Chains A and B, each alone.
Chain A
Amino acid sequence: MNQQSGAPLLGELALSIASGAIRVVDLTHTLDPDFPVIILPPEFGQCARFRMEEISAYDHRGPAWKWHNFTCSEHTGTHFDAPAHWISGRDLPNNSVDTIPVEQFIGPACVIDCSQGAAADEDFELTPEVIQAWEAEHGEIPAGAWVLMRTDWSRRRGAEYLNMREDGPHSPGPTPEGIRFLIEQRDIRGFGTETVGTDAGQGNHYTPPFPAHFYLHGAGKLGLQCLNNLWELPPTGAMLIATPLKIKQGTGSPLRVIALVG
């Protein structure tokens, strides 16, 4: 065997995690019936809320065990978007959660801190200029990176989270140029946000509408949304692990997103 074995590396990693030298950060919200989901115009089909029903609880329905049935959408809670989620990615090969090669789920994370901008402007836009300013400080985003837009939006609760008004929701997100820069110039793995979608709340009013969904999935890239605790990650150097459920032809999945931080 000429191939170099990765086993020693993994052993070292296990020891580092056990010792606390490498921290494991949970980037996931609790699946909770009250956690907001995206709201579409009422004519369209809607995202199911998380629901859980007890099957038994050490009682007459099952004396020694407790378990639940739960229902939700592929896109409820902290969740993963596969390319098949959007019309632009519908014809790509391996575009659903069951066919995406598993190695794509793990990659280095670049965290662009937009929290100050988002605090000042709820419609804060991630533009190529913002990205390039970040790169000037932290270096160029490597190919294959998970790019996470930190806005501290996950600290919001209740109605503040979707921030819905008469002209629709208001929350930060990338401009068409911003997301195209990440895809075309940096060849990222995927893009993650703390908000309910990878697009800005007003993303419907860009051309094309919902540019993050349109361009990311059209290019076979992945999406993560409703992320939590991004402030615990360094700008670079963390390793992100985001493994969706293996749903046949699934367009996404709720999942546990974790990051390894050195």
Chain B
Amino acid sequence: MTDPLSRPPKKDPQVRTRVPTRPSHFRSRAALGIAAAAAEGRFMLQVCEDCGAVQYPPRDACASCLSVALPWRDVSPKGRLIAETTVRTSTSIYFRERTPWRIGTIKLEAGPSVMAHVHGDLAPDGEARVVSMLDKSGQGVLFAIPPDMTPNMEDDPQMREMTCDPKFRRVLITDARNENAPALAQALADAGASMIFVGEAESWRPYPHRAALAAIPNVDILPMDVTDTASVVELCGEIGGKTDILINNARFVRPGGILDRADVGFAREEMEVNYFGLLRLAQAFGPAMRGRGADGDNSAAAWVNILSVNAWSNSPDYGLFSASSAAALSLSQNLRADLWDGGVRVLNVFTGPTEDEWHQPLPPPKVAPAAIARALVAGLKDGLEDVYVGDVAKDLIDRWRAGPKILEREMMENRGASS
């Protein structure tokens, strides 16, 4: 079993915050497929379309038949650890700061042998499961873990470098007024977050779940409105240095497409919250988080956006909201690039229609706040970049990958299904 992580000590104000360093991020284009799989928590390798040979390391031509048709496929993650070493001297500054570091060779049932990071609980010569993860460089790596869960498995120091586990981390949820705020806070408290700050806009205006939110352990409700730059800057001045995970759940949604509305009023509000809100938060909190990417066990770890899956393809019934979501998605990619060299991950949680007043006339399935919270925390624990919550979101991204233009037609045909 893994030694359980102990609560990080209070920070020594006389010690310089360690500058984030990164493992090597250089990869060939073919090898980026590992990162793409890791972003969603899948284990995929190239499989030759002509002869079926599973390939590793990623390459441009099949080592069995020279075919260049090497699509990425989910393959069996089972294997056996046939050799291991504990690296004690490294040429990389990142690993020098973290040695000893255990790696090994795993012979996969699927065929090839791979080199992988090795979890402390994996026995020598033991059965292993190989997972794709993102390391602090943001690139994909393979990680060999025991086939079954072990106690405190997530606290393995090498594994915690790959994940964004909320345990003992301090979290900011940006919008207390969103109906999902109590579920998010509760899930984070259950996951061991040591402080849960929740930004509250317009505290002079009551809302139904405030008492429930305030009653959750470790929750502190603080003033912030993502449409007010000054309030965002002010809260960041106070807690920016101890925000390890930022969860942007602020959202403004109204039904309707272009011709359903008579003016730009609501569209402006949607952009103000969904796009500029994210931008304000990023400009305020981003620099401090990027600088704290290696700040001990409660380093800055992740930035989470909860986005509509219609960011990928417009839903005409919610056409202008979809448009603002697409803007936010694009911005999140920019943020991911900007936070990259701090080792801070950007996780986008995509949902279909949610269980709330603004989607009330839509038929099920709709995503409940608890489902979002569950998926979000699981995504942090697995260190993902893209999480799709609920059947609608999963279905839409599958269709989008199959053909965005076909999906566009399907979205048009589905118009009015809600009324």
- Identify the A interface with B (CB < 8 A): 39-43, 87-88, 91, 164, 166-169, 202, 204-205, 207-209, 214
Quick one: which of A43, A88, A168 contacts B12, CB cutoff 8 A? A168
B11 on interface, CB distance cutoff 8 Å: yes
Distance in angstroms from A209 CB to nearest chain B CB is 6
Q: Can you report 25 A-B residue pairs in the complex whose CB atoms are below 8 A from each other?
A: A39-B14, A40-B13, A41-B15, A42-B14, A42-B15, A43-B16, A43-B17, A43-B291, A87-B234, A91-B230, A164-B13, A164-B14, A166-B9, A167-B11, A168-B11, A168-B13, A204-B13, A205-B10, A207-B220, A207-B222, A208-B222, A208-B239, A209-B238, A209-B239, A214-B238
Does B143 interact with chain A (Cβ within 8 Å)?
A: no
Collect the chain B residues with CB atoms within 8 Å of residue A169's CB. 13
Residues on B with beta carbons closer than 8 Å to the beta carbon of A43: 16-17, 291
A41-B16, A42-B16, A207-B197 known; A167+B238 contact, CB < 8 A:
no
B372 to chain A, nearest CB (A): 25
Report, nearest first, the 9 A-B pairs whose CB atoms are least far apart.
Answer: A167-B10, A87-B237, A42-B16, A207-B220, A166-B12, A208-B238, A168-B13, A41-B13, A167-B9
Closest to A169 in B: B13
- Known contacts A40-B13, A43-B16; 10 further A-B pairs (Cβ under 8 A): A41-B11, A41-B13, A41-B16, A43-B17, A168-B10, A168-B12, A168-B13, A205-B10, A209-B238, A209-B239
Interface of B, secondary structure class, is mixed
List of B residues within 8 angstroms of A167 by Cβ: 9-12
Chain A residue at minimal CB-CB distance from B235: A208
For B220, the closest partner residue in chain A by CB is A207
* Chain A interface SS verdict (over half): loop
Q: Given the interface contacts A167-B10, A168-B10, A168-B11, does A88 sit within 8 Å of B16 by beta carbon?
A: no
Interface residues, chain B, with chain A CB atoms under 8 Å away: 9-17, 195, 197, 220, 222, 230, 233-234, 237-239, 242, 291
Neighbouring A residues of B11 by C-beta, 8 Å: 41, 167-168
Bound Cα distance from A167 to B10, whole angstroms:
5
A40 to B16 CA separation, bound complex (whole angstroms): 10
* Shortest Cβ distance from residue A64 to the other chain B in the assembled complex, whole angstroms: 46
Which chain A residues border B222 with CB–CB below 8 Å?
207-208
A208 to B233 alpha-carbon distance, docked (Å): 14
B238 near A87 with CB under 8 A, answer: yes
Nearest A residue to B19, CB-CB: A43
CA distance A2 to B9 in the complex (A): 66
- Chain B residues positioned under 8 Å from A202 (CB to CB): 10
Closest chain B residue to A210 by CB distance?
B238
* Assembled-state Cα–Cα distance A41/B12 (Å): 8
| Residue among B230, B234, B242 with most chain A CB within 10 A | B234
Complex interface: chain A residues within 8 A of B239 (CB):
207-209
Return chain A residues, CB-CB under 8 Å to B17: 41, 43
- Alpha-carbon distance between A208 and B235 when the two chains are bound, in angstroms: 9
